[in-house]
């Protein structure tokens, strides 16, 4: 484990947009929380909050901090308003529709789809004795599962991945060149053209897929329009794909870095949820959550002005020693993790956000990663990093391993 060395104390030139930060953000979290908890980045005119208390406040004070940032950050590529932008009774009703689509009976059915896809993808990789868990498995797996759930053709995973990468890049960019912007918008347009005919067809002739469920569902007399369903389907695709391969890669990296905990999880798969929760706490795949300050807000003497964009630094908040003891350590047994509530609104870590807009897919995400990780652990023995493989993470907004090349001994039967 690399020691977490803090950068020099007074560092006026420190920037979240620097290569130094990008290489290892976690090395700067302590310094930020302590010396620059309300950090302004002039190049993008945005404020970055790193303390758990402050991040929690921003995500739960819905009057002072809104999701209006999504109008420019998301709507152009979502092709319509997403759930997270809505408020009041409309939000409550539509959120219930989506929650229902991802919990209870629906979720149990979805777990079968997860398992079937994992088995199918793993088959040909097993015999090799080596695979890149992120690129050979995680990425196609996440896209194919989500296409299946939506009732789309999983054969289309390649073009869909290409379009989604553009949508994801647009949403998560901290400053985008005009050229990249245009390319992202074009890909979003192609994805929309692919989806709209299907959505219209499911409206007329519903099946037992997620798109049909969303088309026909009503709550308190409120239903969703085709434009909203398009936005929601794009949102589900991005949200179920972007963080999934990253979480899987990060989980295995943590386990490989901590062989004794890896051995415990192998012996007792009931520890898997704790290992996943601790991975999400220590290395959340979504590192930033944006909000718009509706009025001047003071944090420890620093005033964030009305109209400012505020980024909640989830990775930094999740390692705040005010909330988690020895916060940089990976410890699936930590008493302050609260595994049972770690995927719910009562979670201490903020990997799924918190407040009214907390991730609606958290229960699905948990079931998905648990299912696939259990299957991988059962089928891969003697898992180790492939000799010569150099581990590297990338991304400021969403962050995860570029690749994770593993050698293993396949377990058959």
Q: Which residues bind ligand 2IO (CB under 6 A)?
A: 70, 74, 82, 84, 168, 171-172, 235, 238-239, 242-243, 286, 289, 398
Of the pair 81, 273, the CB lying nearest ligand 2IO is at 81
In the numeric block, the tokens 């793993």 are attached to: 122
Residues 294, 223: contact at Cβ < 8 Å?
no
In angstroms, give the least distance from the CB of 405 to ligand 2IO: 25
Number of residue whose CB is nearest ligand 2IO: 239
Of the pair 189, 269, the CB lying nearest ligand 2IO is at 189
DSSP state of 261: H
Among left, alpha and beta (phi > 0; psi -120 to 50; other), residue 390 is beta
In angstroms, give the least distance from the CB of 229 to ligand 2IO: 15
Of the pair 229, 380, the CB lying nearest ligand 2IO is at 229
DSSP state of 358: S
Of the pair 171, 323, the CB lying nearest ligand 2IO is at 171
Q: Residue 291 contacts by C-beta under 8 Å, 6 or more apart in sequence?
A: 58, 59, 65, 66, 67, 69, 309, 310, 312
In angstroms, give the least distance from the CB of 23 to ligand 2IO: 21
In angstroms, give the least distance from the CB of 101 to ligand 2IO: 14
In whole angstroms, give the CA distance from residue 384 to residue 175: 37
Of the pair 84, 377, the CB lying nearest ligand 2IO is at 84
Instruction: Write down the H helix ranges in 151-177.
Output: 157-172
Instruction: Write down the H helix ranges in 127-209.
Output: 139-150, 157-172, 178-204
In whole angstroms, give the CA distance from residue 56 to residue 286: 15
In angstroms, give the least distance from the CB of 7 to ligand 2IO: 27
Of the pair 51, 79, the CB lying nearest ligand 2IO is at 79
DSSP state of 135: I
- For residue 384, the Cα-to-chain-centroid distance in whole angstroms is 25
Of the pair 82, 276, the CB lying nearest ligand 2IO is at 82
43 — phi, psi (to 5°)? -60, -30
Among left, alpha and beta (phi > 0; psi -120 to 50; other), residue 299 is beta
In angstroms, give the least distance from the CB of 148 to ligand 2IO: 19
Residues 131, 406: contact at Cβ < 8 Å?
yes
In angstroms, give the least distance from the CB of 213 to ligand 2IO: 18
Of the pair 240, 265, the CB lying nearest ligand 2IO is at 240
In angstroms, give the least distance from the CB of 407 to ligand 2IO: 31
């Amino acid at each position: 484990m690399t020691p977490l060395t803090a950068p020099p104390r007074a560092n006026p030139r420190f920037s979240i947009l620097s290569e130094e930060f990008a290489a290892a953000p976690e090395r700067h979290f302590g310094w930020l929380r302590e010396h620059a908890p309300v950090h302004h980045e002039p190049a993008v005119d945005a404020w970055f909050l790193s303390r758990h208390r402050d991040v929690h406040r921003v995500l739960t004070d819905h009057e002072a901090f809104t999701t209006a940032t999504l109008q420019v950050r998301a709507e152009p590529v979502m092709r319509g308003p997403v759930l997270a932008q809505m408020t009041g009774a409309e939000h409550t009703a539509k959120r219930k529709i989506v929650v229902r689509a991802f919990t209870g009976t629906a979720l149990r059915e979805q777990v079968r789809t997860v398992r079937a896809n994992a088995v199918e993808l793993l088959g040909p990789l097993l015999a090799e004795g080596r695979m890149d868990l992120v690129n050979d498995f995680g990425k196609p797996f996440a896209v194919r599962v989500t296409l299946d759930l939506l009732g789309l053709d999983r054969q289309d995973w390649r073009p869909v991945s290409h379009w989604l990468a553009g949508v994801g890049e647009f949403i998560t960019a901290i400053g985008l060149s005009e050229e990249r912007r245009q390319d992202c918008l074009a890909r979003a347009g192609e994805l929309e053209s692919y989806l709209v005919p299907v959505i219209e067809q499911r409206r007329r002739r519903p099946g037992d897929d997620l798109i049909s469920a969303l088309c026909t569902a009503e709550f308190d007399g409120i239903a969703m329009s085709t434009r909203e369903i398009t936005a929601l389907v794009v949102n589900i695709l991005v949200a179920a794909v972007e963080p999934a391969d990253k979480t899987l890669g990060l989980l295995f990296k943590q386990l490989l870095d901590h062989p004794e905990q890896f051995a415990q999880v192998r012996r007792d798969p009931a520890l898997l949820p704790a290992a996943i929760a601790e991975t999400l706490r220590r290395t959340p795949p979504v590192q930033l959550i944006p909000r718009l300050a509706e009025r001047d807000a003071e944090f420890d003497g620093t005033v964030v002005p009305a109209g400012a964009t505020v980024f909640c630094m989830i990775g930094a908040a999740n390692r705040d020693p005010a909330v988690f003891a020895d916060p940089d350590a990976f410890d699936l047994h930590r008493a302050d993790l609260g595994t049972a509530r770690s995927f719910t609104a009562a979670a201490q870590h903020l990997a799924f956000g918190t407040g009214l807009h907390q991730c609606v897919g958290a229960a699905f995400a948990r079931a998905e990663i648990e299912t696939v990780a259990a299957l991988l652990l059962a089928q891969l023995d003697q898992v180790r990093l492939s000799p010569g493989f150099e581990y590297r993470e990338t991304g400021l907004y969403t962050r995860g391993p570029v690749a994770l090349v593993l050698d293993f001994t396949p377990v058959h039967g």
